[in-house]
Amino acid sequence: MYYWYDLASGISDNYYQWDTTTCPDGENYLIRVRAFDGELYSEWDRSDNTFIIDNTAPTVDITNPIDGSYVMEIVWINATTVEANPYEYALAINETIAQTGTEQVSWQWVTYKYVDGVFIITVTDAAGNVGYDTVTGRQLIREPEPIPANRFVIIPDFCFKKGGMKVYMEVVGFWTQDYLKRKIEKLRMLESVDMIVAVDRELACQKIDRVREKLDVIYYKAEIPLTPVLSHLKAVENDLKKKQVQLLRETPLNLTESVVDMSEITERLGVMEETVREILSARATTFSCITADAKKRP
Round to whole Å and give the CA distance between 143 and 157. Answer: 5
Round to whole Å and give the CA distance between 64 and 58. Answer: 19
- Give 117-142 pLDDT, tens digit per residue: 667 778 888 888 888 888 776 777 88
- Give 54-90 pLDDT, tens digit per residue: 998 888 888 888 776 777 677 788 888 888 777 888 8
- Give 178-188 pLDDT, tens digit per residue: 777 777 788 87
Phi, psi of 235 (to 5 degrees): -65, -40
Q: Is-above-0.85 flag for pTM?
A: no
Amino acid found at 137: G
- What is the percent of the chain with per-residue pLDDT over 90, rounded to a whole number? 6
Residue 172: other Cβ atoms inside 10 A:
22
Cβ-based burial of 192 (10 A; exposed 0-12, middle 13-18, buried ≥19): exposed
Residue 1 pLDDT grade (very low, low, confident, very high; cuts 50, 70, 90): low
Alpha helix positions (H), the chain: 177-188, 226-249, 262-269, 273-283
Q: Return the domain boundaries, the chain.
A: 1-53, 59-138, 143-235, 251-296
Round to whole Å and give the CA distance between 19 and 69. Answer: 43
Coil, helix or strand at residue 288: strand
pLDDT of 42 higher than 90: yes
Q: Does domain 59-138 have CATH number 3.30.465.10?
A: no
- What is the percent of the chain with per-residue pLDDT over 70, rounded to a whole number? 80
Residue 102 pLDDT grade (very low, low, confident, very high; cuts 50, 70, 90): confident
Amino acid found at 241: K
Look at residues 121, 57, 107 and name the one whose alpha carbon lies nearest to residue 85: 57
Round to whole Å and give the CA distance between 32 and 194. Answer: 73
Are 136 and 292 in contact by the 8 Å Cβ rule? The answer is yes
pLDDT for position 288: 42
pLDDT for position 293: 43
Pairwise pLDDT comparison (115 vs 106), residue with the higher score: 106
Residue 91 pLDDT grade (very low, low, confident, very high; cuts 50, 70, 90): confident
Round to whole Å and give the CA distance between 41 and 37. Answer: 7
Pairwise pLDDT comparison (150 vs 73), residue with the higher score: 150
pLDDT for position 8: 87
Round to whole Å and give the CA distance between 9 and 34. Answer: 10
pLDDT of 22 higher than 70: yes
pLDDT for position 32: 92
Residue 211: other Cβ atoms inside 10 A:
22
Q: What is the mean pLDDT of the chain?
A: 78
Residue 45 pLDDT grade (very low, low, confident, very high; cuts 50, 70, 90): very high
- Give 195-227 pLDDT, tens digit per residue: 898 888 776 666 676 677 778 888 888 788 888
pLDDT of 237 higher than 90: no
User: Strand 32-33 vs strand 51-53: parallel, antiparallel, or unpaired?
Assistant: unpaired
User: What mean pLDDT is predicted for residues 16-41?
Assistant: 89
